[in-house]
Amino acid sequence: MFPFIRYATQQPHTNQHRLLVIPGTGCPGEGAKSGKPCAHHDTHRRMNEFWVGMGCFWGAEKLFWETPGVTDTQVGYAGGRTSNPSYRAVCSGSTGHAEVVRVRFDPQVTSLEDLVVLALENHDPTQGNRQGADIGTQYRSVFFLPTSDDAATVERILDAYGKQLAQHGYGPITAQVVLMDQAGTGFWAAEDYHQRYLEKNPGGYCPHHGTGVCYVR
The predicted model gives 155-170 an average pLDDT of 98
Which of the two residues, 75 and 19, has the higher pLDDT score?
75
> What is the spatial distance between Cα 29 and Cα 33, in angstroms, rounded to a whole number?
9
Higher pLDDT, 37 or 119: 119
- Which pLDDT score, from 0 to 100, does residue 115 have? 98
Identify the active-site residue in 27, 56, 91, 206.
56
Which pLDDT belongs to residue 44?
A: 63
Indicate the SS3 state at residue 120: helix
CATH top class, domain 48-200? alpha beta
Whole-model pTM: value is 0.81
Q: Can you tell me the mean pLDDT for 76-102? A: 97
- 56 carries an active-site annotation: yes
| Edge-first strand listing for the sheet containing 141-145 | 176-179, 141-145, 48-54, 98-105, 70-78, 187-189
pLDDT digits (tens, 9 = 90+) for 9-32: 333 332 222 232 322 333 333 333
Residue 208: per-residue pLDDT: 79
Question: Which pLDDT does position 43 carry in this prediction?
Answer: 52
- ∠144-146-151 over CA atoms, to 5°? 65
